[in-house]
Amino acid sequence: MKRVLVVRNDKIGDFMLAWPAFAMLKASLGGEITALVPGYTRELAELCPDIDHIMLDPGKQAPPAAQRALLDQLQAGRFDAVVCLFSNFRNAKLMWQAGIRQRWAPATKLAQIFYNHRVTQRRSQSAKPEYEYNLDLARALLRHNGIAVVEPRPPYLRFEAAALAGFRAQQAAALGIAADRPWLLVHAGSGGSANNLLAGQYGQLIRGLCDQFPGVQPVLTAGPGEQALAEQVAAEAESGAVVAHGLALPDFCRLLACGSLFVAGSTGPLHIAAALDVPTVGFFPLRRSATPLRWRPLNSEGRHLAFHPPGEDGEQVEDMSRVDIGAVVEAATLWARGYLS
């Protein structure tokens, strides 16, 4: 088996949680791994050391000519197998039309009729992290073909140390901060992916951590359209907080790699930071489809701390204003001593 296609053509966070599967397939097969991704995750795919080729999906709204061109690319790829980590009717039909011999996907939804290899997962029960569901599909493909499974280990994204030191110095000069202090990175935006803390809660959290760790430099990160929110949080936080914005996606990833600790809601940047194995603090609603377990980041053991609103067993709580920031600061202070001191 020389050529495998992996389909993850949805959101940034979902794509990042596919990186262990990419790593497993690459290390186990040693062949060529191609990723089918949308344009907005292309730059992230280019950073992934376990992806050899990138195929861009123009999206379901693209004109017929673009859809036909994608199908032509899929057929020309002569893939031995495809693993659809994101399965919907369009993806399933495309892989069938492309004539890929082994078509692997979760055994859910009507779309499964187009796959000839299905793995029962019941992801709606959120019984394990999303990245583990992805790994289960990769393992099933490997074992079916008699290939020894090489289990991946974090970090899944790395930058060369000397180049990263130079980038950190440049960013410190641009932001007017000290390069030699621990950077507490906080991302208050959500991209609409999940409920998040209020700006005032993030401000209170930053003040609390800076009181506990006086040498820390708080940096608010902001993606497109998030600068105003980041500036509001910086003003709430005081503590000398600055805002980093306007970075291209690869440089945004490099900025996250400079952090001693990264704090965010359940959104793409949290999963990028975790792929770098930067220690992360994440905030999640108490909802079965969005639990801290289901969307656990890729950090190695002990390098992630999760919080959610209080609730009884089985209760669905999406009101993030119920998160007690004082209790968060207390817990995070004990946990983060090795990272921010």
Model confidence pLDDT, tens digit, residues 202-261: 999 999 999 999 999 999 999 999 999 999 999 999 899 999 999 999 999 999 999 999
Q: Are residues 176 and 140 in the same domain?
A: no
Tell if the pTM clears 0.85, that is, is over it. Answer: yes
Angular region, 104: left φ>0, alpha ψ -120 to 50, beta rest? beta
CA distances, 34 to each of 6, 161, 213 (Å): 6, 27, 44
Q: Are residues 167 and 291 in the same domain?
A: yes
Q: Are residues 176 and 313 in the same domain?
A: yes
Counted domains in the chain: 2
pLDDT value at residue 258: 98
101: in domain? yes
155: in domain? no
CATH code, 332: 3.40.50.2000
Q: Are residues 52 and 188 in the same domain?
A: no
Q: Which residue has 């990419």 as its token pair?
A: 22
Amino acid in position 41: T
Q: Are residues 115 and 229 in the same domain?
A: no
User: Poorest-confidence range of 69-73, 252-256, 283-287, 315-319?
Assistant: 315-319
Q: Are residues 28 and 61 in the same domain?
A: yes
pLDDT in tens, 16-29: 999 999 999 999 99
Q: What angle (nearest 5°) sits at the alpha carbon of residue 239, between those of residues 187 and 254?
A: 35
Angle at which helices 161-175 and 249-257 pack, to 10 degrees? Answer: 100
- Average pLDDT of the chain? 95
321: in domain? yes
Q: Are residues 90 and 227 in the same domain?
A: no
214: in domain? yes
Domain boundary among 89, 118, 144: 144
- Lookup: tokens for 62: 């693209």
Q: Are residues 227 and 334 in the same domain?
A: yes
When pLDDT is cut at 50, 70 and 90, the band that residue 144 belongs to is very high
Residue 105 phi, psi dihedral angles, 5° rounding: -165, 165
32: in domain? yes
pLDDT in tens, 113-126: 999 999 999 887 88
Q: Are residues 321 and 183 in the same domain?
A: yes
Tell me the mean pLDDT in the region 146-155: 98
When pLDDT is cut at 50, 70 and 90, the band that residue 293 belongs to is very high
Domain that holds residue 84: 3-144
